Chain A
Amino acid sequence: MPQNARPLSPHLQIYRWPLSMALSILHRATGIALAVGLLLVVWLLLSLASGPESYAVARAFCASWLGLVLLFAWSWALFFHLCNGVRHLFWDIGVGFAKAQAQRSAFVVVAASLLLTALVWICVIAQGGVA
């Protein structure tokens, strides 16, 4: 078919990565990760409803190395997706589209997500850890 012979527009690997492109991809990636994390939230609630033994198992998993790494990653993913989501909402009402503004808001989003993650884990450690 003649349509297939036409040149295609260049795809992702052609471009040097601007920050906003990395953030766009991260928004999607963190969204997928958070959907999986939601299943853990349901598991935790289910264990709490099922009795002390199952709750102890769930807590032990959260306090394990794998659990802590996952919780830390998810907490950052949550704050990043939240902050970048707010950035998207501003775009939706037509605010902040200029290249310089988008660049600045990208920095704000990354900084805010790291700050909030640090804040939450400082609170957790101050309370004596997850377990």
Chain B
Amino acid sequence: MSTPGMDRANLRTPLKDVRGLGSAKSGTRHFIVQRVTGIALALLTIWIVGFVLTLVHAGDYLHARELLRHTFAAVWLIAFIVMAFWHAQLGLQVVIEDYVHTSWLEMLSQIAVKFVCAGAALTGVVAVIRIAMGA
């Protein structure tokens, strides 16, 4: 890989070319969203673990559905699903950036991760809503 700007006729450094154009604006966004969803998940997980234990205790189908019919349970579960897939998608994005170096394969896997996470999150949310509405 050649260093950008070095093969040009003028002797400006690459840094000189980008100075004064402003910041990248969204440069720290990924980092911040990863932390914020992480904090949300830390709080949600405490409830989720308790809820799963209650589900295990409940055993049968009807009792399990009854537990999810409470508005609070549905809201908490939907929040968990959305936060978890958002957090997962950000993390997997970094893993792919770090380890997949074939350009087309990286692009393909990045898009696949976004699609699978979005699809699974939507499926989970619809499932919770269906149970909560008794449909």
Quick check: A78 and B35 within 8 Å, CB to CB? no
Within 8 A of A (CB), among B72-98: 77, 81, 84-85, 88, 91-92, 95
Contact A38 B120 (CB under 8 A): yes
- Contact present for A82 and B42 (CB under 8 Å): yes
- Please tell me if the beta carbons of B81 and A49 are within 8 angstroms of each other in the complex: no
The answer to whether B57 and A127 touch across the interface, beta carbons within 8 angstroms, is yes
Q: Which of B30-58 contact A (CB under 8 A)?
A: 35, 38-39, 41-42, 45, 49, 53, 56-57
Q: Mark A9-50, 1 if CB is under 8 A from B, else 0.
A: 000000000000000000010011011001101100110110
Shortest distance between the CB of B99 and any CB in chain A (Å):
10
B127 adjacent to A56 (CB under 8 Å): no
User: In whole angstroms, how far apart are the Cα atoms of A1 and B2 in the complex?
Assistant: 8
Question: Given A38-B88, A42-B127, A120–B53 Cβ distance below 8 Å?
Answer: yes
Partner of A55, one of B61, B117, B121: B61
CA distance A130 to B95 in the complex (A): 33
Shortest C-beta distance, B64 to chain A (Å), equals 6
Whether B49 contacts A120 by the Cβ 8 Å rule is yes
The CA of A41 and the CA of B61, in the complex, are separated in Å by 16
- Binary contact readout A79-123 vs B (1 if CB under 8 angstroms, 0 otherwise): 000100110110010000000000000000000000000001001
Q: Identify which of B41, B61, B65, B85 contacts A56 (C-beta below 8 A).
A: B61
How far in angstroms is the closest Cβ of chain B from A54? 10
A60 close to chain B: CB less than 8 A: no
Whether A7 is near chain B, meaning CB under 8 Å from some CB there, is: no
Residues of B within 8 A of A92 (CB): 35
Q: Which of B53, B124, B126 has the most CB of A within 10 A?
A: B124
Q: 30 pairs across A/B with beta carbons < 8 Å?
A: A1-B1, A3-B3, A28-B91, A35-B88, A35-B91, A35-B92, A38-B88, A42-B123, A45-B131, A46-B123, A48-B61, A48-B68, A48-B127, A48-B131, A49-B128, A49-B130, A51-B61, A52-B61, A78-B45, A78-B49, A82-B45, A85-B38, A85-B42, A86-B42, A92-B35, A120-B49, A123-B53, A124-B56, A127-B53, A127-B57
Residues of B within 8 A of A (CB): 1-3, 35, 38-39, 41-42, 45, 49, 53, 56-57, 61-62, 64-65, 68, 77, 81, 84-85, 88, 91-92, 95, 117, 120-121, 123-124, 126-128, 130-131
